[in-house]
Amino acid sequence: MELAISAAYCLQTVTEDNSDLLASLDAASLQILENVLGNTAITMEMQLLKTLVAGTVWNLKERIPPHSQADSINAIMRILSEILSLDAGKFIVKMKEVETLRLKTAESEAEEVSASLEESALNEDDGIADGVIKGSSPTDFSDLNPVSNEELKQASCLLVAQKSALEMIVNLCCSDEPSDDEWEELSSSDESEFSLEKSVADGGQLLTPLCLSAEVHSALLDLFIPKKVFDKTWFPDGNALQICTQNATWKPLITKMYSVQCRALTCLHNVLSALDIESLGGASALQELSQHLSQLVFTQLDIPKQDEFLEAASSALRALLETMASKGIPQCMTPEQVIKFGEGCVASSNSSTRVNAVSIIGITGSVLAKSENTAETLKLIGSFLLGVASHDSSLVVSGGALDAIFDVFADGDEAEKAATELKLLQAVKKIQPAFKSKLRKEGREKYSTDQLCVLDNVRTNLRRFISYLQTVEKKPSKAK
């Protein structure tokens, strides 16, 4: 089984985006994989094997005969649903209880054997007693000890299978847009220094639609997979964490548990982007999820791979707030909480996390700008975004912050009032030459074609935004 799992890992990896390998696949090889999918899993090792093979079959779906594709996709989705239905926290607790019972039983049996050997030795004369068990001691019970911790192995297999399943769902609901610059839809401009035509010629692909087929969409909903993904973002289980923290041999599972949560958060981002609100459970479900994510990002501060968690959490929260804002659904985080979260994210070394942070703050600000008596809060948001736009080392992050400023202060009496009091015009005019110079000097060396197109769009919109702010300053002050 260990060899089969290793081979499945290898096969899933090498079949991803590998057209040369697809062409060499024969029907017999595909049949072997499909046979594994149909096997009944009685151990977590078998569950892991089936999950890995499901990933391989998905990579090879182009080689599946058309009349069998629907059945294969349904089989894959059932395997993913089945593995995500399992409560890994409760399973870890149960496995630890089984291990404890097994060790106690083994200890009791060992004591019985020891007592029996000692009694036997006393009944023999000295000469025979010296050689009763040649080459062995009455207290050597190594043959009675297990060669490995079977319970720990089963728990580990479950966590790895769930992580793999979530990664598959990320790919099932994937988008080919650049992860660092999923901002507003690009507007074409005659002034662009990096034309869209060049982007396409260079192989760049802009705003590719989500690759979610009708079969996958139906299976996701029929098997309640979005709900199962949501549930995994609540992981890890407190009891399981306590067990693994207190037992050195089980401690490596802690990192695996948090990896499952991070993959679930990343998966949640793609699910939110791929499905409509009704499919996600409606406005009330999104509000509940918003409250959960807001609690999550403020309570999980001391965990392994903090940067990985922040990237995944901020990505999920961004997608959720975008969806809610587009439908006018109130969010649960206060502006002060959003800014506090943003401050934590912009300290991250991960540029994707920082982009997500400024986008989240921009979404919050653009919603507030449509409300009354929000100018003071908008000033806080504007000050934060200006700081990022001015000082972040990455042009992608700086551009994201400027893009968020455009969204927040583009329209509305409260936004105009805040912009005037914040002296936003003078601030962005100071940023403009430095941004243009940095884009010209290092843009082509450091950033992809897609990123350059977005950054150039920000440059163009920055000039337009400055013109807009100049008209705002010329407006006569409204009577109080």
On whether residue 42 sits in a domain, the answer given is yes
The alpha-helical segments, DSSP class H, found in 327-374 are 335-346, 351-368
pLDDT surpasses 80 at 115: no
**Residues 344, 259 share a domain:** no
Instruction: Answer for the pair 431, 371: CB distance below 8 angstroms, yes or no.
Output: no
**Residues 263, 368 share a domain:** no
- Which of 144, 118, 113 minimizes the C-alpha distance to 132? 118
pLDDT surpasses 70 at 173: yes
Question: Stretch 42-61: mean pLDDT, rounded?
Answer: 92
pTM of this prediction?
A: 0.80
Q: What are the angstrom distances between the C-alpha of 283 and each of 276, 279, 317, 323, 436?
A: 11, 11, 15, 10, 41
**Residues 352, 458 share a domain:** yes
Residue 412's pLDDT is what?
87
Percent of the chain with pLDDT over 70: 84
pLDDT band at 291; cut points 50, 70, 90:
confident
d(CA 322, CA 273): 9
**Residues 457, 350 share a domain:** yes
Instruction: Answer for the pair 395, 452: CB distance below 8 angstroms, yes or no.
Output: no
**Per mean pLDDT, which of 181-190, 422-431, 433-442 is the most reliable?**
422-431
pLDDT band at 140; cut points 50, 70, 90:
very low
**Residues 360, 229 share a domain:** no
Query: How many Å separate Cα 254 from the centre of its chain?
Result: 17
- Which of 323, 256, 331, 229 minimizes the C-alpha distance to 287? 331
pLDDT surpasses 60 at 271: yes
**Residues 471, 415 share a domain:** yes
pLDDT band at 185; cut points 50, 70, 90:
very low
pLDDT surpasses 90 at 72: no
How many Cα atoms within 13 Å fall on the side-chain side of residue 92? 27
d(CA 110, CA 187): 76
pLDDT surpasses 60 at 244: yes
Q: What are the angstrom distances between the C-alpha of 57 and each of 34, 37, 194, 447?
A: 8, 9, 40, 34
**Residues 275, 342 share a domain:** no
pLDDT surpasses 60 at 236: yes
The boundaries of the domain holding residue 162 are 1-100+152-174+213-279+289-299
Residue whose entry in the numeric block shows the structure tokens 């709900």: 227
Q: Who's near 430: CB < 8 A, 6+ residues apart?
A: 390
Instruction: Answer for the pair 281, 184: CB distance below 8 angstroms, yes or no.
Output: no
On whether residue 329 sits in a domain, the answer given is no
Strand, helix or coil for residue 211: coil
DSSP conformation class of 429 = H
Residue 359's pLDDT is what?
95
Residue 277 φ/ψ, nearest 5 degrees: -60, -40
Residue 434's pLDDT is what?
92
pLDDT surpasses 60 at 147: no
| Residue 296, token pair as written in the block | 């999550």
The whole-chain average pLDDT of the chain stands at 82
pLDDT band at 156; cut points 50, 70, 90:
very high
**Count of domains for the chain:** 2
Residue 469's pLDDT is what?
93
Q: Who's near 245: CB < 8 A, 6+ residues apart?
A: 251, 254
pLDDT surpasses 60 at 138: no
pLDDT surpasses 50 at 202: no
**Residues 378, 271 share a domain:** no
On whether residue 94 sits in a domain, the answer given is yes
pLDDT surpasses 50 at 148: yes
| H or E stretch covering 461 | helix 449-474
| H or E stretch covering 446 | helix 424-446
pLDDT surpasses 60 at 208: no
d(CA 406, CA 414): 14
Strand, helix or coil for residue 289: helix
**Residues 159, 32 share a domain:** yes
Least confident of 56-65, 167-176, 282-291: 167-176
Instruction: Answer for the pair 395, 437: CB distance below 8 angstroms, yes or no.
Output: no
**Residues 405, 352 share a domain:** yes
On whether residue 370 sits in a domain, the answer given is yes
Residue 118's pLDDT is what?
72
d(CA 23, CA 8): 19
On whether residue 327 sits in a domain, the answer given is no
On whether residue 122 sits in a domain, the answer given is no
pLDDT surpasses 50 at 66: yes
**Residues 356, 275 share a domain:** no
Q: Which residue has the higher pLDDT, 443 or 422?
A: 422
Q: Who's near 25: CB < 8 A, 6+ residues apart?
A: 60, 63
Instruction: Answer for the pair 153, 45: CB distance below 8 angstroms, yes or no.
Output: yes
On whether residue 479 sits in a domain, the answer given is yes
How big is the chain by its Cα radius of gyration, in Å? 29
Least confident of 121-130, 252-261, 346-355, 406-415: 121-130
Residue 394's pLDDT is what?
92
Question: Stretch 53-74: mean pLDDT, rounded?
Answer: 87
Segment 2-9 long-range contacts (CB within 8 Å, at least 24 positions apart) = 2/45, 4/49, 5/45, 5/48, 5/49, 5/52, 8/49, 8/52, 8/53, 8/56, 9/52
pLDDT surpasses 90 at 154: yes
pLDDT band at 124; cut points 50, 70, 90:
low
Strand, helix or coil for residue 450: helix
**Residues 293, 351 share a domain:** no
pLDDT band at 121; cut points 50, 70, 90:
low
pLDDT digit string (tens) for 28-39?
888 889 889 888
pLDDT band at 152; cut points 50, 70, 90:
very high
pLDDT digit string (tens) for 298-349?
776 566 677 888 899 899 999 999 999 988 898 878 888 888 888 888 888 8
Residue 293's pLDDT is what?
86
On whether residue 206 sits in a domain, the answer given is no
